[in-house]
A and B are shown apart, each in its own frame.
Chain A
Amino acid sequence: MKSAYFRNLSLQTKFILVTYLAVIILMLIIGITVTRMQRNIMMRDIERQGMILAESLAIPVINFLLYERLGFIEEGGLIDSYISEIFENKDIDLIYLTVLDEEGRVSAHNDFNEYGRLYNDDITINAIYSDSPLLQKYYDHAIGQEAIDFATPLSIGKKRWGTLKFGVSLEEVDNEIQATVLRVVIFTALLFLGGFIIITVLSRRFIRPITELARTMEVAGGDLVDIKVDTKDGGDEISLLGKSFNRMIERIRESNLEQQENHDKLLRFANAVERTGGDLLDVNVDMEGSDEITLLGKSFNRMMERIRQSNIELKQTHEKLLRSQKLASLGILASGVAHEINNPLGGMFNCIEMLDQMGDNRDFRQRYLKLLKDGLNRIENTVGKLLWMSRKEEKNPQPVSVKQALDDMYGFVEYRMKQRNIDYRAQVEASVSVMIDPYDLQQILINLIINAIQSMEKSGTLRINAYNHNPNVILEVSDTGKGIDEEELDKIFDPFYTTKHPGEGTGLGLWLTYEIIKHYDGDIAVRSKKGHGTTFSIMLHSAGY
């Protein structure tokens, strides 16, 4: 939480905070070190002073004691005066100054009331048993202060007259330490104050360019790429950073322009590709340059050109296939055609024979000439139908009666059905008509009927039903032939698929049928049972709608 708060602070604030923290830590370390050093120095100084005083005082005190013992001076007087004078010295903060005898009894003291008292505290006991000067730190309850007790034996060799002992208050040390702490605090405060100005100015000088740079970069995060950082003159890191940033922005701008161009090219390309989704194969992407997208565009153009070529070739092939199938159908119908022509021809030969014999009879002649004329008409009609079937014309959708189309067809397949004892049952109402090019309907019917006849080798029934199922017309062609294997059913509309013997079929009949029906947005379905027969259901748009 806190770190997140810190992270969100501005660089300048962070800089100031960190600097202040560093100053605080530094001052804390300096303060503690200085205070400790000062305390140590003062303590050493006091200890040294105390020891010097102790040893210095011991000499005259021993002398005084000796003179007293020898009777040179009045006992008690001189040492007491001496002690009092020393005690009045303000250079050292004495708490007490005393001369103890060998048992620890006061023989001289700055406070006369203490005379004769026997000291048996630990510090005194330590002092009177020490052969050398002794320094003991203790807490003086009387003054409520830390203090040091100095003691030195009053002795020469092993002769000892007593102990000189005095206490020095550490109040001055504490006061000095407190003063030092105060000075450090004041100095820190001043440093803060001065530092605040310096740091603020410096941070502005050093941080502002960075902040500006950051802000500019932030703006650059948007689309405002035409921005520029004011780097001024200078060779410091921030100026260099600014210059680098400007160069980077320049490169981004150039890159953006390039990208825009590429984008435009891609857009044109995509549009061109999109257009190919229709039949607009004459699209051509207009691009110049040598970059990858241009190269891609050119490749696309070449590919499109090839596709166009292929399409043309495919179309031609398709047309050839269609034509082949039609011709194949004609071939299949040829026997029927021949029968259609042969029947009237036979009659006509009879007529010619009869005319040759009895052509003089006018009534007779006229009757037979009419018969001849009928025969010729019939042949002409047959040949005309045949030519009509094989012609190649543009599609011309129009309402076509299904019954009429079936009737026109029937002549071509009648002979074949009879050959195979096929029972033909057409049930088509005259009103059923579809919107289609008549030749295409003819082609559909021929293909389905020929397939049906071929599936019934010896006998069978061919049923043709057509009825309105608004807005469509349903046309069903059923046979009772050998049927189609279930696994073969989904292949029957593939081109060149055939179950017939070689030479019997092209494998294009049902494919062509399917193509024609799809062209008119119709549909074709098949259901079949092996050995029982097959039914094709065709749905075409009704002409009535």
Chain B
Amino acid sequence: MCRKLAVLIPLLTVIIGLTAKLYSQSPGELKTKEENPVYFGVIPRDNPRITYEKYQPIIDYLSESTPYTFELDLRKTYLDTVAALGSGETDVAFLGPLTYLHAHADYGAVPILKSITKKGKPYYKSVVVTKESNPIKHLSELKGKSVAFSSLKSTSGNLIPRYVLANAGIHVKELRRHSQFDYQDSVVKWVLKGEYDAGTVRESVAEKYVPLGLKIISISDPIPTGPVVAGPKTSMKIIEVIRNTLLNMKNTAAGKEALKKVDVELRDGFIAARDSDYEHIRRMINAVPTGCGIGCHPKIKKL
């Protein structure tokens, strides 16, 4: 999987580079945005249905509050989502910190906003979970055990946990078995089913399953919430409309109503985001010893 991606990414980079060139020549003429839907991408952290349920309310709110029609555009993988943004197939996207850094590095995508979680914070956390009945209580006990990670491009479900494990003195090679799953819900379910001793997901997902017998054994440092990212070909006009509408979302009745239905990490609306917010993550990626060691997390340079 990782190898395929390793081949695909440079190819995409070329394609995106070409389209970026076109965009730079006449950015306003490529799309007549007012007629066409504005496509909103979302990284596939959850299965498509859950993604729709968690993000469609924001899409509906945007459609109702702006002259544009918005539509969710889901892709199979994190990278597909980034690529679509880079190619202009999608105009904006909800990305995780890691995927943002990729999009930024590869396509020059820019962060517009970042979300405020249900807890009122512009950050969230990554956790390591086990089944409640599992005697494991500390990260150190995971050596020689099986661990289920989320997607390789997941910040909270893969990058941060590896970093955390490394800090606890455990390299993935020392695990008896480890796998990656596209959806964080899948990770939890495998742990609950006893197929894996531990799993790595974002805190909100873990909390959802605690009543069902999940136990959190490690909580990471705060991670900045994923940004709303504009693609390189997206017009400033649309960017401004989206920025203003979402910034103001929690101040309108319809916005408040929509926010009640969305992912808990977006529940309190949005604030402005800057690239520097993700500098810390960028450094983590580049710290080779904490990576997966197979080039999954290529070093990212700041553009």
Contact = CB atoms under 8 A, between A and B. Distances in A.
15 contacts: A62-B52, A63-B47, A63-B48, A67-B48, A70-B74, A70-B76, A156-B49, A156-B53, A157-B52, A157-B56, A157-B261, A158-B56, A158-B59, A159-B52, A159-B72
Q: Which 3 residue pairs of A and B lie closest in terms of their CB atoms, listed nearest first?
A: A157-B56, A66-B48, A156-B52
Nearest to A158: B60
B49 A66 contact: yes
B52 A70 contact: no
B19 interface: no
A59 B57 CA distance: 18
A157 B60 contact: yes
A59 B48 CA distance: 12
Contacts of B53: 156-157
Given A63-B49, A156-B49, A157-B52, A70 B75 contact: yes
Interface residues of A, number: 13
A539 B13 CA distance: 179
Given A62-B49, A63-B48, A67-B48, A159 B56 contact: yes
Contacts of B71: 159
A86 to B, nearest CB: 19
Contacts, number: 39
B63 interface: yes
Nearest to B51: A66
Nearest to A72: B76
Nearest to B77: A70
A71 interface: yes
Interface string B32-64: 000000000000000111001100110110010
Identify the interface centre among A59, A62, A69, A159: most chain B CB within 10 Å of its CB: A159
A259 B59 CA distance: 114
Identify the interface centre among A59, A62, A70: most chain B CB within 10 Å of its CB: A70
Given A63-B48, A156-B49, A71 B59 contact: no
Contact of B57 (A67, A69, A71, A157): A157
Contacts of B75: 70
Interface string A148-161: 00000000111100
Contacts of A156: 49, 52-53, 56
A59 B50 CA distance: 11
A159 B56 CA distance: 7
Interface of A: 59, 62-63, 66-67, 69-72, 156-159
Contacts of B56: 156-159
A156 B224 CA distance: 28
B52 A66 contact: yes
Contacts of A63: 47-49
Identify the interface centre among A63, A70, A72, A156: most chain B CB within 10 Å of its CB: A156
Given A66-B49, A72-B76, A156-B49, 16 more contacts: A59-B49, A62-B49, A62-B52, A63-B47, A66-B48, A66-B52, A66-B74, A156-B52, A156-B53, A156-B56, A157-B53, A157-B57, A158-B56, A159-B56, A159-B60, A159-B71
Contacts of B57: 157
A19 B49 CA distance: 67
Interface string B73-116: 01110000000000000000000000000000000000000000
A62 B52 CA distance: 10
B69 to A, nearest CB: 10
Residues of B contacting A: mostly: helix
A70 B76 CA distance: 6
A59 to B, nearest CB: 8
A72 B52 CA distance: 16
B192 to A, nearest CB: 21
A55 to B, nearest CB: 14
A208 B63 CA distance: 89
Contacts of A69: 74
B279 to A, nearest CB: 33
Contacts of A66: 48-49, 52, 74
Nearest to B261: A157
Contacts of A159: 52, 56, 59-60, 71-72
Nearest to A157: B56
A157 B59 contact: yes
Contacts of A71: 76
Contacts of B49: 59, 62-63, 66, 156
Nearest to A62: B49
Contact of B63 (A59, A67, A72, A158): A158
A73 to B, nearest CB: 11
Contacts of B47: 63
A334 B63 CA distance: 169
Interface string B237-268: 00000000000000000000000010000000
A70 B75 CA distance: 6
A397 to B, nearest CB: 149
Nearest to B80: A70
A535 B173 CA distance: 185
Nearest to A161: B52
B160 to A, nearest CB: 27
B92 to A, nearest CB: 16
Contacts of A59: 49
A205 B71 CA distance: 87
B193 to A, nearest CB: 21
A156 B58 CA distance: 12
B37 to A, nearest CB: 11
A70 B77 CA distance: 10
Identify the interface centre among A67, A70, A71, A157: most chain B CB within 10 Å of its CB: A157
A530 to B, nearest CB: 141
Nearest to B72: A159
Contacts of B261: 157
A157 B71 CA distance: 11
Contacts of B48: 63, 66-67, 70
A158 B56 CA distance: 7
A69 B80 CA distance: 14
A72 B44 CA distance: 13
Contacts of A62: 49, 52
Contacts of A72: 76
Identify the interface centre among A62, A69, A71, A158: most chain B CB within 10 Å of its CB: A158
A156 B55 CA distance: 10
Nearest to B74: A70
Contacts of A67: 48
A62 B47 CA distance: 12
A157 B59 CA distance: 9
A386 B288 CA distance: 202
Contacts of B76: 70-72
A157 B61 CA distance: 10
A67 B48 CA distance: 7
A158 B65 CA distance: 14
A66 B57 CA distance: 17
Nearest to B258: A157
Contacts of B72: 159
Nearest to B53: A156
A159 B52 CA distance: 9
B57 to A, nearest CB: 6
A62 B27 CA distance: 36
A69 B52 CA distance: 13
A209 to B, nearest CB: 78
A63 B47 CA distance: 9
B94 to A, nearest CB: 15
A62 B261 CA distance: 19
A493 B47 CA distance: 151
Nearest to B52: A156
